[in-house]
A = this chain, B = another copy of it.
Amino acid sequence: MNDSLITRGLKKVRALVSDEPPALSPKVRDRLRAQLRECVEGRGGEVSARQRAAGLARTYQGLSEAGRRDFLRLIALEFGPDPARVAKAHEAYQAAVGTPRQWDAEAGLRAALRSGRIRILTQFNAMPQGVKFLVDLRAELLGFLEKDTDLAPLDRELEARLTAWFDVGFLELQRITWSSPAALLEKLIAYEAVHEIRSWADLKNRLDSDRRCYAFFHPRMPTEPLIFVEVALTDHLADNVQHLLDEAAPVFDARKADTAIFYSISNTQVGLRGVSFGNFLLKRVIDDLKRDFPRLRTFATLSPIPGLAGWTKKHAQALAEAGIDLPVADLAAGAWAADKAEARRLRDPLLALAARYLLEAKGRGEGAPPPFDPVSRFHLGNGARIERLNHLGDSSAKGLAQSFGMMVNYLYEPEEIEQNVEAFAADGRIAAAASLRRQARR
């Protein structure tokens, strides 16, 4: 049941919604409202209340999509805090500032803001797979939210609660191997978002002795990886993902590895958007690898540049400036890549284009505008440095279409990380190798 829910969540609900008439009949609505109220009031004791909440959760699961949206609107709109009560508590608080009563008054204001919404949602946790249910519910909520901003307060409160529940202190780092349950490995195949896992043989190759795969798990969702990273142990800064994933390539002797390449990081739970684990995952994985392979010196990624083609389309002059005479569509189609001479000819201009994009293209945001590219944003935010661009690092159709075949290595240099994070956070300063800056100036 949950499985179908998440699938729906993943395959984007974002269809209908919002100005349509409500999907619940007034009668059903009234019944649900009454039940929600009982739930909030905790009638008959907490134990009974939880049992009733589980009943409500099952009702929710049985509704149509439109019905579920209505149900969530009911919670969002009718179980918020009472502005009058808030006003009164606020008045008392301000009056108490500086007096010994300040702390009580602060707690009072907080209590007045505490809503029935979160009390309802928390009680859904009593279901056998309650945590997963709430994560899936939020995935769906995020879909509805795209057209129906009335649901935002519910989303905000749910995000805050999930942030508390999925605090990194609660997460378990696990290695995933070929001896992991098939039911779990199957999920890697489904969730891998960077370089599609094409078959069980492909997956097995990614779990071979010169590879490592790690995931974070929540103790109450033991069969659902929250995020996972795939690592190759090697002796050089990998520059080509097709080589890396070549099932026929010989296995490297991991004990000789001096370099760990993070070539894929995938978040799996749409419903945990805004709850960050990626940075902690990288930290924990690096620690684990160092312990097992004391000869490792270099920790770097081989990453896609997912926003390049889209951005180039909108900034047509960038091509000319880089000295490229092909239209974006031809670059993305990639026929040129099969022609060795043509590929060689385009090499430097494309590297210039990508270097400028990574160093200069900005997205929207407060303060110093962040990099346009989401993957770059993630790694720079974690303290990495842009180390090297790789021409034809990903010659798959997808790679050509999104970044004209280019890939990039982000380097995690332990001594630099903190200051990179700081400089990036404070001024948006981007750490990059000198060679890359040169390519950008070309």
Contact = CB atoms under 8 A, between A and B. Distances in A.
Interface string A80-111: 11010011001001100100100110110110
A97 B104 CA distance: 26
Count chain B CB atoms within 10 A of each CB in A44, A223, A280 and give the residue with the most: A44
Interface stretch (A150-158, A320-328, A331-339): A150-158
Interface residues of A, number: 71
Interface in A176-196: 177-186
B422 A43 contact: yes
A217 to B, nearest CB: 10
A83 B110 contact: no
Interface stretch (A25-33, A167-175, A402-410): A167-175
B279 A45 contact: yes
Interface string A137-168: 00000000000011011001000010011011
Number of copies: 4
A422 B185 contact: no
B280 A107 contact: no
A418 interface: yes
A45 B180 contact: no
A138 B185 CA distance: 34
A219 interface: yes
A288 interface: no
A234 interface: no
B180 A131 contact: no
A74 interface: no
A117 to B, nearest CB: 10
A215 to B, nearest CB: 15
Interface of A is mostly: helix
A140 B422 CA distance: 35
Given A90-B90, A106-B80, A45 B182 contact: no
A92 to B, nearest CB: 12
A268 to B, nearest CB: 18
A106 B183 contact: no
A153 B107 contact: yes
A130 B169 contact: yes
A127 to B, nearest CB: 8
Contact of A182 (B47, B103, B164, B178): B178
Contacts of A283: 47
Nearest to A207: B182
Contacts of A90: 86-87, 90
Contact of A220 (B83, B219, B383, B417): B219
Contacts of A109: 86, 113
B107 A110 contact: no
Contacts of A97: 83
A77 to B, nearest CB: 9
A162 B318 CA distance: 53
Nearest to A163: B122
Given A122-B167, A152-B103, A418 B46 contact: no
Q: Which of A125, A127, A169, A184 has the most CB of B within 10 A?
A: A169
Contacts of A280: 46-47, 50
A179 B181 contact: yes
B103 A150 contact: yes
A382 interface: yes
A104 B152 contact: yes
Contact of A418 (B48, B50, B113, B200): B48
The 5 lowest CB-CB distance pairs between A and B, nearest first, are A125-B169, A219-B219, A45-B421, A103-B153, A44-B418
9 contacts: A45-B418, A48-B421, A50-B168, A110-B156, A165-B170, A177-B183, A180-B181, A180-B182, A219-B220
Given A86-B94, A113-B113, 11 more contacts: A43-B422, A45-B279, A46-B280, A48-B421, A86-B93, A103-B150, A103-B156, A106-B113, A107-B156, A125-B168, A164-B164
